[in-house]
């Protein structure tokens, strides 16, 4: 019996594009690779102070059952360098079984279609590229989510260096360029010499994609802390939010006033307000916890 499965690929460690290419090859070994999307660059989800992701989707024709396929993908993740033991830890490569024929599976550790399929730009954009049936879902993405995903060119990128930069500033610029880019080969041209350096994959560094990796089937509700992301004076909404308030969708809980501009504080979706640490009319600093919301 031959089945068709869509597999999502993600990497935000080491040489990301190369990691995705290796993942395509590993997936191909589990059957026949029928299609692969372009590689996209997507902004990190949740915590934003971490590296961008390289994402892609592959369409595989395979004889493996859903559970056998899942195990084979997990084995491939291990082989491609995911650190064992760190369940929600950083990923050199992350392989997700998105769809398997028309099956609807809801078992422990195996859910198909993938639960986040409809919300995530980094899944839907590449998926719609290789299967037009998903174009409508892609087009229904919120603008911010759609905008966070862009095609990744394979062209050379130049590192901007100013003439008057000291060597230290140039080295720092190079370090930033390497940290942020996905270069596999760097050519440094100077008046008297040319240096070409081939790079290998970097060691994994701590980084995680918390929001997306959080367990979805555990019993305890997730509690999100809503923090101030600027320095200013906090003002509560009227009527003032109270502990125990529940709300269906997003709710504006107050605003932070700074330099004459009011920046709203949102509940970031529905839930129950379990604690309030913000005091109306007082100064708040960056990162100060304001509310806790149970989802």
Partner 1 sequence: MFRKVLIANRGEIALRINRACQELGVATVAIFSEADRDSLHVRQADEAFCVGPGPAGRSYLNIPNIISTALITRCDAIHPGYGFLAENARFAEICSDHGLTFIGPKPSVIALMGDKATAKRVVSEAGVATTPGSDVLASPEEAQSVARSIGYPVLLKATAGGGGRGMRVVRDAAEMQRAYAGATAEAEASFKDGRLYIEKLIVAPRHIEVQVLGDDFGNLVHLGERDCSVQKPSHQKVIEETPAPNLPARARTALHDMALRASRYVGYTNAGTLEFLVAGDEVYFMEMNTRIQVEHPVTEMVYNIDLVKEQIRIAAGESLGYAQRDLAARGHAIECRINAEDPQNHFAPAAGMVSKVVFPGGPGIRVDTHLYAGATIPPYYDSMVAKVVAFGDTREVAIARMERALRETLIEGVSTTVGLCLDILSTPEFRDGRYDIELLLKEPTPR
Angle among Cα 265, 89, 150 to the nearest 5 degrees reads 65
Rg (CA), the chain: 23
Contact residue for partner 1 among 168, 195, 219, 220 (CB under 8 A):
168
What minimum distance in Å lies between the beta carbon of 167 and partner 1?
A: 4
Judged by CB under 8 A, the residue of 233, 268, 274, 294 near partner 1 is 233
**The sheet that has 261-266: what strands, in order across it?**
261-266, 252-258, 232-236, 282-284
Residue among 139 and 285 whose Cβ is closer to partner 1: 285
Sketch the per residue contact string, 179 through 218, with partner 1: x for CB under 8 A, - otherwise.
----------xxx---------------------------
Position among 109, 144, 155, 164 found at the interface with partner 1 (CB under 8 A):
164
How many Å apart are CA 53 and CA 263, to the nearest integer?
29
Q: Considering only residues 250-289, where is the footprint of partner 1 by CB under 8 A?
A: 258-259, 283, 285-288
Q: How far, in Å, are 167, 225, 234 from residue 263 at the CA level? A: 41, 17, 9
Q: Which of residues 96-155 bind partner 1 (CB under 8 A)?
A: none
Specify the residue, 234 or 291, whose C-beta has the smaller distance to partner 1.
234
Closest CA relative to residue 246, chosen from 210, 271, 218: 271
> Rounded to 10 degrees, what is the CA torsion of 192, 198, 204, 207?
60
For the question of residue 139 being annotated catalytic, the response is: no
Catalytic annotation present for 96: yes
Name residues whose C-beta falls within 8 Å of residue 23's C-beta, 6 or more positions apart in sequence: 9, 11, 56, 58, 76, 80, 93, 95
Q: Is 232 in the site for partner 1 (CB under 8 A)?
A: yes
Q: Which residues bind partner 1 (CB under 8 A)?
A: 49, 161-164, 166-168, 171, 189-191, 230-233, 258-259, 283, 285-288
Residues classed as catalytic? 82, 91, 94, 96
């Amino acid at each position: 019996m031959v089945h068709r499965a869509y597999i999502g690929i993600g990497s935000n460690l080491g040489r990301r594009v190369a990691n995705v290419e290796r993942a395509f090859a590993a997936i191909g070994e589990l059957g026949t690779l029928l299609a692969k999307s372009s590689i996209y660059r997507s902004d990190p989800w949740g915590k934003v102070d971490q590296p961008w992701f390289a994402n892609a989707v592959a369409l595989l024709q395979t004889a493996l059952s859903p559970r056998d396929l899942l195990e084979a993908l997990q084995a491939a993740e291990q082989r491609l360098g995911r650190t064992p033991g760190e369940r929600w830890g950083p990923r050199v490569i992350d392989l997700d079984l998105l769809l398997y024929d028309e099956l609807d599976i809801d078992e422990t550790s195996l859910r198909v279609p993938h639960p986040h399929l409809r919300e995530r730009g980094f899944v839907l954009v590449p998926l719609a590229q290789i299967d037009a049936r998903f174009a409508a879902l892609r087009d229904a993405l919120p603008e911010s989510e759609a905008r966070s995903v862009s095609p990744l060119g394979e062209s050379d990128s130049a590192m901007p260096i100013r003439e008057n930069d000291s060597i230290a500033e140039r080295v720092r610029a190079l370090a930033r360029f390497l940290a942020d880019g996905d270069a596999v080969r760097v050519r440094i041209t100077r008046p008297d010499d040319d240096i070409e350096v081939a790079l290998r994959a970097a060691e994994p560094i701590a980084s995680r994609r918390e929001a997306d990796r959080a367990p979805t089937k555990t019993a305890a509700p997730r509690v999100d802390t809503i923090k101030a992301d600027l320095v200013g004076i906090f003002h509560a909404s009227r009527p003032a939010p109270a502990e125990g308030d529940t709300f269906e969708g997003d709710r504006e809980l107050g605003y932070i006033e700074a330099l004459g501009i009011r920046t709203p504080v949102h509940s970031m979706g529905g839930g129950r307000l379990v604690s309030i640490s913000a005091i109306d009319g007082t100064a708040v600093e960056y990162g100060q916890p304001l509310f806790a919301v149970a989802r």
